[in-house]
Amino acid sequence: MQRIRTGDEVIVTAGKDKGRRGTVTALKGDDRLLVEGINMAKKHVKPNPNEGIQGGIVEQEMGIHASNVMLFNAEADKGDRVGFRTNDAGKKERYFKSNGKAVDA
């Protein structure tokens, strides 16, 4: 079970986008994430008329390391650490360390 999953709202803690929030759109490997609107970079794209690609300079999201983001706690209005525990039903769940509330609830 991972601390950060696709669809989670995260806040960036380090780098050029520090303090910005976004939603995780994809996980790349064990430790890299794609976050919506974060870590944008200009990429030169070669035209390909067979696939209808015009080419030019395109802005796209690049991966960001998982250590540079924290899960956003809306109740506390800040980034928060995540822990794991078993709930009353015996199922494993993620929870915020600051207030003990379950992440998915």
Q: Residue 70: what pLDDT? A: 96
Alpha helices (runs of H) in the chain, residue ranges in sequence order: none
Nearest to 70, CA basis, from 29, 30, 35: 35
Neighbours of 48 (CB within 10 A): 10
Across the beta sheet with 21-28, what order do the strands follow? 64-65, 32-35, 21-28, 9-12, 69-73, 78-80
Q: Residue 45: what pLDDT? A: 95
Q: Quick: pLDDT tens for 38-97.
A: 999 999 999 999 999 999 999 999 999 999 999 999 999 999 999 999 999 999 999 999
Q: Residue 1: what pLDDT? A: 60
Give me the domains of the chain, ranges plus CATH numbers: 9-96 (2.30.30.30)
Q: Residue 105: what pLDDT? A: 57
In this predicted structure, the answer to whether residue 21 has a pLDDT above a threshold of 60 is yes
Average pLDDT, the chain: 93
